[in-house]
Each structure stands twice: as C-alpha cells, then as structure tokens.
Amino acid sequence: MRGHFPHGYQFQAFEGASLMQAVGGADPFPTYGTGVEIRLSLPGNREKLLAEARELFGSEEAYLPGNYSAAKVRMVIDAEHRARIPDILGVCLYVIDGYNKTADDYFFFYDRLVDLYQAATGRPLTRAQLFAVAERLVNLERCHDAREGLQREDDRLPRQFFRTFPGGVHQDKTLDPQKMQEMQTLYYRMRGWDPDTGLPTLAKQRELGLANRRSG
C-alpha cells in the first residue's frame, strides 16, 4: 500500500491487520487470521475463536486487539501464506473464507485443495508443502520489491492509521507508532529477513531456492 489508505476498515483497532497493510496490502477480512481479528469485534462465538488462537499461535493475543505480541506476528505471517494459496491454485479467496467461517477444522478447505490438486495432476502434495509454496511466493514478491528499489522505509502506514476515531465502537482507539515499528522488526526477524532493510537474507533465499533473485 506504500503509505496510501487501503480498504475501508477501522485499522486503528486492529494491530495485526495494520501490520499486514504495512508490509503487504492484502485485504485482511477474507484473509484468515487477520479476518478473525476483525470479526472478534462483531457478534459471534468468541470462545471458539480464542481457543483457535491458542491452538494455532500459542496465545489468545493473536486475535485479541490491543497488543503487539509475537503471537500476533505469527498470525499475520500465517494469514499472508493463506492469502497466497488461492492465487497459487486459481481458487476464489472468498470461497475459502466461506468454508473457514463454517468448518470446525480451520484447515478443512486447504486439505480439500490438496486432494483436488492431487486428483487433477496425479502429483503428490501435502498441506505443509502447499504452505511452503506460499511462503516462497511471499519471499519472491519481496525480492521483486527489492529489484524496484523498495525497502523497509517504504513499508509505512498512512497518517490516518495513527488518528483516533471520534465515535463508534472503536472510539479513541489508535495505533502506537513505536510499538508498530517494534512489531514490524519482529515480523522481519520471524520471516528470516534483514530487519534493517526488510528484505530476505541470502540464507533465507537459499533456503527457499531463490538465491538467484535480487534482494537489495
């Protein structure tokens, strides 16, 4: 998004969704994880979602607003991978979102995609391999950013993210600029990227078979 205001959500209330906008720009609502973070502000089964956060990311903080935790960063990274899978396989993101909202197993549709891929191609594939491809794609996109001269300083949020809302359910909520920067640094480290440049390290590129791609 590079400093421009994105989708019409009240991002000041959602640290994870805001981090995703700073480092990428995917629509956070249909993207699993960040979408749950937003949905928690709506009526629904909170306990089921919080139990899911504990199981997937080790803490309810992953989904709960008002924190800049490592669990929330893990959730964002996972959400970015899930956001790439529809593009990889040519499936509508909103179809996956619909299944994820109704299925008890939050990997249900991804496992069905694996089944369909194997049936269509005759090639073996596991869910772990599918998510590894998604991670590779996120890193490849970042290498392309580097080719165009983009670095950490370009991963910035618009000023509106740091202004409070005058009313509504998120009245007076805003993001802490310093804590957002610290969370962004943690995000880069967890991804295996250089926290100074925000770009994949050579070791990470080699791990993913991208060593011939430019990264700064």
User: What pLDDT score was predicted for residue 5?
Assistant: 53
Q: Can you tell me whether residue 66 is helix, strand or coil?
A: coil
- Domains delineated in the chain: 11-88+129-207 (1.10.599.10)
Residue 1 in this model has a pLDDT that exceeds 60: no
**Backbone phi, then psi, for 28, in 5-degree steps?**
-80, -20
Q: CA–CA separation, 41 vs 30, rounded Å?
A: 15
Average pLDDT, the chain: 87
Q: CA–CA separation, 35 vs 130, rounded Å?
A: 21
Q: What is the pLDDT of residues 51-93, one digit of tens each?
A: 989 999 999 999 998 999 999 999 999 999 988 998 899 988 7
Q: Taking Cα atoms as reference points, which of 94, 93, 56 lies closest to residue 72?
A: 56
Q: Taking Cα atoms as reference points, which of 57, 134, 56, 126 lies closest to residue 91?
A: 134
Q: What is the pLDDT of residues 120-133, one digit of tens each?
A: 999 999 999 999 99
If pLDDT is split at 50, 70 and 90, which confidence band does 97 have?
A: low
Q: 48 versus 129: which is more confidently predicted?
A: 129
Query: Mean of the pLDDT values across residues 27-56?
Result: 82
